[in-house]
Amino acid sequence: MYSRKGDVLDIAYLGGIVAGVVMVIFGIISSGGVSALGNFVDVPSIIITIGGSLTSCLACNKMPDFIAGLKGMTLAFKEPPIGDPTAVIGNIIDMANVARKEGLLALEESANQIEDEFLKKGINLVVDGTDADLVRAILETDMDSTEARHKKVIAFWDKWAEMGPAWGMIGTLVGLVNMLKNLSDASTIGPNMAVALLTTLYGSLLANWLAGPTSAKLGVNDAIEMSVRTVTVEGLLSIQAGENPRVIEEKLKTFLAPSARSGVGTPEEGAGGE
Amino acid sequence: MYSRKGDVLDIAYLGGIVAGVVMVIFGIISSGGVSALGNFVDVPSIIITIGGSLTSCLACNKMPDFIAGLKGMTLAFKEPPIGDPTAVIGNIIDMANVARKEGLLALEESANQIEDEFLKKGINLVVDGTDADLVRAILETDMDSTEARHKKVIAFWDKWAEMGPAWGMIGTLVGLVNMLKNLSDASTIGPNMAVALLTTLYGSLLANWLAGPTSAKLGVNDAIEMSVRTVTVEGLLSIQAGENPRVIEEKLKTFLAPSARSGVGTPEEGAGGE
Amino acid sequence: MYSRKGDVLDIAYLGGIVAGVVMVIFGIISSGGVSALGNFVDVPSIIITIGGSLTSCLACNKMPDFIAGLKGMTLAFKEPPIGDPTAVIGNIIDMANVARKEGLLALEESANQIEDEFLKKGINLVVDGTDADLVRAILETDMDSTEARHKKVIAFWDKWAEMGPAWGMIGTLVGLVNMLKNLSDASTIGPNMAVALLTTLYGSLLANWLAGPTSAKLGVNDAIEMSVRTVTVEGLLSIQAGENPRVIEEKLKTFLAPSARSGVGTPEEGAGGE
Amino acid sequence: MYSRKGDVLDIAYLGGIVAGVVMVIFGIISSGGVSALGNFVDVPSIIITIGGSLTSCLACNKMPDFIAGLKGMTLAFKEPPIGDPTAVIGNIIDMANVARKEGLLALEESANQIEDEFLKKGINLVVDGTDADLVRAILETDMDSTEARHKKVIAFWDKWAEMGPAWGMIGTLVGLVNMLKNLSDASTIGPNMAVALLTTLYGSLLANWLAGPTSAKLGVNDAIEMSVRTVTVEGLLSIQAGENPRVIEEKLKTFLAPSARSGVGTPEEGAGGE
Amino acid sequence: MYSRKGDVLDIAYLGGIVAGVVMVIFGIISSGGVSALGNFVDVPSIIITIGGSLTSCLACNKMPDFIAGLKGMTLAFKEPPIGDPTAVIGNIIDMANVARKEGLLALEESANQIEDEFLKKGINLVVDGTDADLVRAILETDMDSTEARHKKVIAFWDKWAEMGPAWGMIGTLVGLVNMLKNLSDASTIGPNMAVALLTTLYGSLLANWLAGPTSAKLGVNDAIEMSVRTVTVEGLLSIQAGENPRVIEEKLKTFLAPSARSGVGTPEEGAGGE
């Protein structure tokens, strides 16, 4: 009933990243043939572009934030782990009905079936009779904690998206200087310059194919998660205050992205807890 | 009487987009002759520029927002679907006069003739005797819903305008590397470089001819629509409150873009509902 | 007495625009000789740069705003049409003295001599005994109307300054592709590339010589006009309230750009209405 | 005692500007020898870069603001003309002690020895028994006047820093087009291109060596001057209110840049007015 | 017990800077061989890029701020000198327990063992019975002083990161002009152009490898330090107010970055002062 969507793939992100690679490979093959693919893989160029930009990110961040930033990429592949807001509101209205009919203590049982730690913690606080202000403070502290962690990860990817092209240009300048110092053999000019340009290409891909979209997607996910968490907190406090389930529903819907409002509380969504 | 303008073409947008194509074709022909036109169509380059930038947009957005963004282009071709503010205010004053003379219930008949769902919904709420605060809340929720949907579409086009030149440069770098690796046949250098530059050209056109203006026009339309919606809400609430039609007119005119105020309530505009 | 300065040329703008042309011509002649001037006029390049950037501006704006934007350039050549603030304050103090000695009705005669429609409308409202709040509302509505119109014109020129270099680059890319496709005749490479670069030159001039400064000057003029209008409204309301002319003078001077304060009320400025 | 520092050179600005020239000359000589210096002086290029960017600045500004902007450069060479805040606070505490022991009138004598017109005007207002609100209004009007004047000068240099590279590029494009039209004599290509690049070099120097730092330094000076003026106003009003000198000292120190606080009121600084 | 971490190296910064050098050297060797390393060291190019950008920074700043800015680099290598927030809160809770049991005077002894001047000063103020408002004012003045000093240092590095590439381009333009003036010996073109590009490379490294990350790291450190100082002030005032140690702990944890909250007050952290 209270399903978590943490392992549902974000097909837009996955599809976008994969299709981006396909586009680049298609571009290479269409202009240079399949044999040209090898021309676009140059390990030292990859090391200087990715490695260099990562070293700048490292110098910009505290070590734990750097590691958390790198790990954060996995989050972009998955839907936010808290289900969609419509379902969350449905759950809360169900619980409001239960609480109304059977008392707050009856929620304890529901809590055990919930996988989302945040909602579980909230229900337990409510069932334990914790003071409303303290429930809010504890849950909002938890939200702040999550959002601050997200923001640092997003900032990491923004910085990498900025540093990728910068180190791509550094790599190209290194290659150009080397090439210009050795112009005697004219036949090597072209290939050497090609290699020099690879770091600029890698840097541009890093920024526009990987790091930029990752930062954007993590930002979208954070907004969704925070909005659901806010709904959850307000809902739990309303249940604790013994408000009418219908009033709770109206109240919670105002927190949602408007387009998501219509689905809540309709029979198909199974809001009928009574 | 309550005409919708949803199918009226925005001739500035349509004309601007078409004239932009004409300008590019003119530029090609004037510098290279008619036969040069073929040099500017390279399907793989189109795929890598448009496809690549779209894959980045896909990775940045949730799937439904991506699809809604693409579809949003059709909105730029049309005037906002709610008529011009002057006419809307005229309608509201007519209704205020009707309500004053024949009571709120007399508006029900008018509502049936109205095509604009928003205004219709508002009148029905007023006729049903819904509480004023609730009328406002429901209508503003509807407005928020519309605006949030618009903003996501605008953000999609902004992102595409940013990604177009980025992928244009990626395409050019791919082409340059391929070209530089095969400098042996000097006669192919020029044509190969020409093809490499095409993605930069496509990316620049994508940003400055299509995606940028589309985002700008959608933004202008959103501002117009939101302003008319605001006027509508205030007008309906004033009618419900039984305010004098003359006072309503003065009040509503302050919500309009100032330049549109003078036309309201003049005889030609047919405000004479009595 | 209440002179309008609407037809006074802004010599800084006119001089800057003319001197800019002189600078470019000087640059051409000094590096290429008089005969080189012809190399810099290429009608197709002019059409693609100016035409292309205008089509993008067209697609971005509603048709009436596009036309108003273009027409707005004439405003940059002229001083704002409302005289300088010092003179306006002088006029208001004169009127305050007249009103104090002979009553508000005595201002009606003065109003007939005034060319500035805004001030005239304000005096007539005051003489008619309109309620102070309504006087303020009507005049501020008029100001808002003027400012909104100005802002759209300024936004048009900002957009053109942005689109000029973009279309200059598009034109250059078109020229380069054409040139690279036909490298066989080496003697045409230079001249063809020269022509290709012309659109970049035109786009850069459009942005930095014409559209950018026009936007900046229109912004400065708008700020001056709004400041004088604000002073006028406050002054008229003070006259209506029967305040002491000396107090009015002190009050109005705080609205001016500080450097303009000292000239007000000195004998030479003829403030001595009594 | 109340010394002005208006003629004290800002050695950082002077040193930075001079050292910048030295750096450029060093760079020229190190890569091209002393004889190369002549290659870097091209009067027409100087005229088009500096003249062109100035004409754009002229078109952007009202004539008096343009002239004031140019003259403003002399201010960057000098320390702000009002002494350092520590000394100013010392002076005010001295005066507070005098006023406490001998009455406000005793300050009149001190005022005559003060060179700073602002402080002098303030003391005279206080001695004359002007109402505190009026003293504050008059002095803050004076401050606003000074700051508005500074801001326009800073905006002028910002605009010049923006226009320098833009006109440098225009000059280079003009030179390139001329060069490309006359490729027949291969021996002139290099030198012609060198000259074409000079305007880009001049524009870059204008922005990064002169106009940018001038704007930055004028901004720093404005901040210092406004902070001292604020301290002066608060101090004079405190003296007028008859506050205890010790309290005044504590109060004024909170207005200073924190690092300057420790020096105030220590014996060495001669705060001991009693 | 109250250890300072001022001499603990920031391994992320140190590692990032060192690894960045390694990346560049790796890039050089991988594309040009070990012998190419010498091609990348050109003392005049280093002088013009670093020297030129520093002279612009000098002209932008007051002399003392320029010197403090340069010295500020050493701060980036070290962890902020005030220990981690978790330990600071632990200390404050210990002191709260001591104060509760043995009175405020018992803290005097603890103060003598503390190395952090800020905490020491705060404890002494509390022990001396200073008024709470004054304690807060004095400590916040101290914090403002520290933060203002930090901000100026950060601004210095931001400006240097901006000026590095600008002077790199100036150096390259100087080199290009010299090269183009002497094209007669074709064999020198390549090497001369290589040297010209070195300043662009140096400028890019300065911005992206050194100055940008230094500014970012100093900003992170400032945020950490200010957050700990804020906790310290609130904690000391709570101790002075005689609040319950448990309440103080809850209160202080809300000031921390959320992720750091869980460690406070657990047995392992040794919060058990009682």
Residue of D16, D27, D31 lying closest to E59 (CB–CB): D16
C210: left (phi over 0), alpha (psi -120 to 50) or beta: alpha
Answer whether D245's CB lies under 8 Å from D97's CB: yes
| Average confidence score pLDDT of chain D | 86
Contacts of B36 in chain C (CB under 8 A): 178, 181
Say whether D40 and E182 touch across the interface (CB within 8 A). no
A128: closest CA of chain B, how far (Å): 35
More confident position, B155 or A266: B155
Residue of A47, A62, A166 lying closest to E208 (CB–CB): A166
- Here the tokens at position D47 are 């005229």
B22: closest CA of chain C, how far (Å): 9
| Cβ neighbours of E37 (radius 10 Å) | 12
| Average confidence score pLDDT of chain A | 86
Does the pLDDT of residue D13 top 70, yes or no? yes
Say whether D169 and C204 touch across the interface (CB within 8 A). yes
Identify from B42, B45, B47, B60 which residue to disrupt to test chain A contact, counting A C-beta atoms within 10 A and taking the largest count: B60
Tokens 């572009």 identify what position? A49
Beta-bridge partner residues of A9: A78
- Here the tokens at position B203 are 């990316």
A222: closest CA of chain B, how far (Å): 12
**Position D256 confidence tier, pLDDT thresholds 50, 70, 90:** low
Amino acid A264: pLDDT:
58
| Average confidence score pLDDT of chain C | 86
**How many CB contacts within 8 angstroms connect chain B with chain C?**
147
Q: Which amino acid is at D93?
A: I
Identify from E49, E197, E208, E215 which residue to disrupt to test chain A contact, counting A C-beta atoms within 10 A and taking the largest count: E208
Residue of A26, A189, A201 lying closest to B173 (CB–CB): A201
**Position E174 confidence tier, pLDDT thresholds 50, 70, 90:** very high
D244: left (phi over 0), alpha (psi -120 to 50) or beta: beta
pLDDT in tens, B123-172: 988 988 888 988 898 888 788 878 888 999 999 999 999 999 999 999 99
Average pLDDT over residues E195-199: 95
DSSP-derived 3-state class of residue E78: strand
Beta-bridge partner residues of D78: D9
Beta-bridge partner residues of C176: none
More confident position, D161 or C268: D161
Cβ partners under 8 Å of residue D259, min gap 6: E145, E148, E149
How far is it, in rounded angstroms, from Cα C113 to Cα C100?
A: 19
C12: closest CA of chain B, how far (Å): 30
Contacts of A214 in chain B (CB under 8 A): 59
**Position D257 confidence tier, pLDDT thresholds 50, 70, 90:** low
- Here the tokens at position E23 are 């990346």
Answer whether C199's CB lies under 8 Å from C18's CB: no
Say whether B174 and A11 touch across the interface (CB within 8 A). no
ipTM confidence score: 0.84
Amino acid C272: pLDDT:
37
Amino acid C161: pLDDT:
97
Does the pLDDT of residue E263 top 70, yes or no? no
Rounded to the nearest 5°, which phi and psi values hold at A93?
Answer: -65, -40
Residue of E47, E61, E137 lying closest to D26 (CB–CB): E47
Chains within contact range of chain D (3+ C-beta pairs < 8 Å): C, E
Amino acid D268: pLDDT:
38
- Here the tokens at position A17 are 């990243």
Answer whether C271's CB lies under 8 Å from C264's CB: yes
Say whether A174 and E198 touch across the interface (CB within 8 A). no
Amino acid B140: pLDDT:
87
**Position B183 confidence tier, pLDDT thresholds 50, 70, 90:** confident
Spatial CA neighbour of D110 closest among D123, D128, D100, D101? D123
Answer whether C9's CB lies under 8 Å from C81's CB: no
Average the pLDDT over each of A267-271, B179-183, B249-253, C217-221 and give the range with the smallest value: A267-271
More confident position, B227 or E240: E240
E133: closest CA of chain A, how far (Å): 27
**Position C211 confidence tier, pLDDT thresholds 50, 70, 90:** very high
Distances (CA, A) of B67 to B57, B142, B205, D202: 10, 21, 22, 49
Answer whether B249's CB lies under 8 Å from B264's CB: yes
End-to-end C-alpha distance for chain C, whole angstroms: 16
Q: Which amino acid is at D142?
A: D
How far is it, in rounded angstroms, from Cα E177 to Cα E189?
A: 12
More confident position, D102 or E265: D102
pLDDT in tens, A104-117: 888 888 777 777 78
Spatial CA neighbour of C67 closest among C174, C136, C153, C175? C153
Three-class SS of chain B: CCCCCCCCECHHHHHHHHHHHHHHHHHHHHHHCHHHHHHHCCHHHHHHHHHHHHHHHHHHCCHHHHHHHHHCHHHHCECCCCCCHHHHHHHHHHHHHHHHHHCHHHHHHHHHHCCCHHHHHHHHHHHCCCCHHHHHHHHHHHHHHHHHHHHHHHHHHHHHHHHHHHHHHHHHHHHHHHHHHCCCCHHHHHHHHHHHHHHHHHHHHHHHHHHHHHHHHHHHHHHHHHHHHHHHHHHHHHHHCCCCHHHHHHHHHCCCCHHHCCCCCCHHHCCCCC
Contacts of A57 in chain E (CB under 8 A): 16
B181: closest CA of chain A, how far (Å): 5
Chains within contact range of chain C (3+ C-beta pairs < 8 Å): B, D
How far is it, in rounded angstroms, from Cα C23 to Cα C46?
A: 19
A197: closest CA of chain B, how far (Å): 7
How far is it, in rounded angstroms, from Cα A121 to Cα E9?
A: 39
Residue in C closest to D183 by C-alpha: C190
Amino acid D58: pLDDT:
97
Say whether C32 and D178 touch across the interface (CB within 8 A). yes
Contacts of A179 in chain E (CB under 8 A): 190
Amino acid D79: pLDDT:
87
Residue of A16, A31, A259 lying closest to B174 (CB–CB): A31
Per 3-state DSSP, chain A is made up of helix, strand and coil in percentages (nearest 5) of 80, 0, 20
Average pLDDT over residues B36-43: 94
Contacts of C174 in chain B (CB under 8 A): 24, 27-28, 31, 40, 201
DSSP-derived 3-state class of residue A204: helix
**Would you state the torsion angle of the CA atoms of residues C233, C235, C236, C242, taken in this order, to the nearest 10 degrees?**
140
Distances (CA, A) of B169 to A202, B45, B211, C174, D3: 12, 11, 17, 15, 61
pLDDT in tens, A210-229: 999 999 999 999 988 888 88
Contacts of C191 in chain B (CB under 8 A): none
A75: closest CA of chain E, how far (Å): 18
Rounded to the nearest 5°, which phi and psi values hold at B79?
Answer: -60, 150
How far is it, in rounded angstroms, from Cα A236 to Cα A240?
A: 6
The length of chain D in residues reads 274
Amino acid A270: pLDDT:
38
Answer whether C51's CB lies under 8 Å from B27's CB: no
Identify from C50, C55, C66, C202 which residue to disrupt to test chain B contact, counting B C-beta atoms within 10 A and taking the largest count: C55
Spatial CA neighbour of B46 closest among B198, B249, B154, B218? B198
**Position A154 confidence tier, pLDDT thresholds 50, 70, 90:** very high
Distances (CA, A) of B241 to B94, B255, C50, C176, C245: 15, 18, 54, 67, 44
D80: left (phi over 0), alpha (psi -120 to 50) or beta: beta
DSSP-derived 3-state class of residue D165: helix
pLDDT in tens, B108-123: 887 777 877 888 888 9
Q: CA geometry: angle at E136 spanning E130 and E139, to 5°?
A: 100
Amino acid B271: pLDDT:
37
Amino acid A184: pLDDT:
79
Say whether D31 and E47 touch across the interface (CB within 8 A). no
How far is it, in rounded angstroms, from Cα D131 to Cα D237?
A: 10
**Position D108 confidence tier, pLDDT thresholds 50, 70, 90:** confident
Q: Do chains A and C touch (3 or more CB pairs under 8 A)?
A: no
Say whether D59 and C190 touch across the interface (CB within 8 A). no
Contacts of E174 in chain D (CB under 8 A): 24, 27-28, 31, 40, 201
DSSP-derived 3-state class of residue E9: strand
Contacts of E19 in chain A (CB under 8 A): 51, 55, 58
Contacts of A153 in chain E (CB under 8 A): none
Average pLDDT over residues D52-66: 95
Spatial CA neighbour of A56 closest among E73, E53, E19, E223? E19
Residue in D closest to C218 by C-alpha: D60
pLDDT in tens, C44-69: 999 999 999 999 999 999 999 999 99
Q: What is the pTM of this model?
A: 0.88
Q: Do chains E and D touch (3 or more CB pairs under 8 A)?
A: yes
Q: What is the per-residue DSSP string for E83-131?
A: --HHHHHHHHHHHHHHHHHH-GGGHHHHHHH---HHHHHHHHHHHTT--
Say whether A177 and E198 touch across the interface (CB within 8 A). yes
Percentage of chain E exceeding pLDDT 90: 47
Cβ partners under 8 Å of residue D27, min gap 6: E44, E47, E48, E52, E170, E171, E174, E175, E199
D201-205, D246-250, E183-187 — most confident range: D201-205
| Average confidence score pLDDT of chain E | 86
pLDDT in tens, B50-86: 999 999 999 999 999 999 999 999 999 998 877 677 8
Contacts of A179 in chain B (CB under 8 A): none
* Helices B132-181 and B117-127, axial angle in degrees (round to 10): 160
A216: closest CA of chain B, how far (Å): 5
Amino acid B129: pLDDT:
86
Say whether C181 and B11 touch across the interface (CB within 8 A). no
Burial of D46: CB neighbours in 10 Å, binned 0-12, 13-18, 19+: middle
Contacts of D177 in chain C (CB under 8 A): 39-40, 194, 197-198, 201
Does the pLDDT of residue A179 top 80, yes or no? yes
**How many CB contacts within 8 angstroms connect chain A with chain B?**
149
- What's the gap between Cα B152 and its chain centre? 12
Does the pLDDT of residue E260 top 70, yes or no? no
D102: closest CA of chain E, how far (Å): 31
pLDDT in tens, E122-167: 898 898 888 898 889 888 878 887 888 899 999 999 999 999 999 9
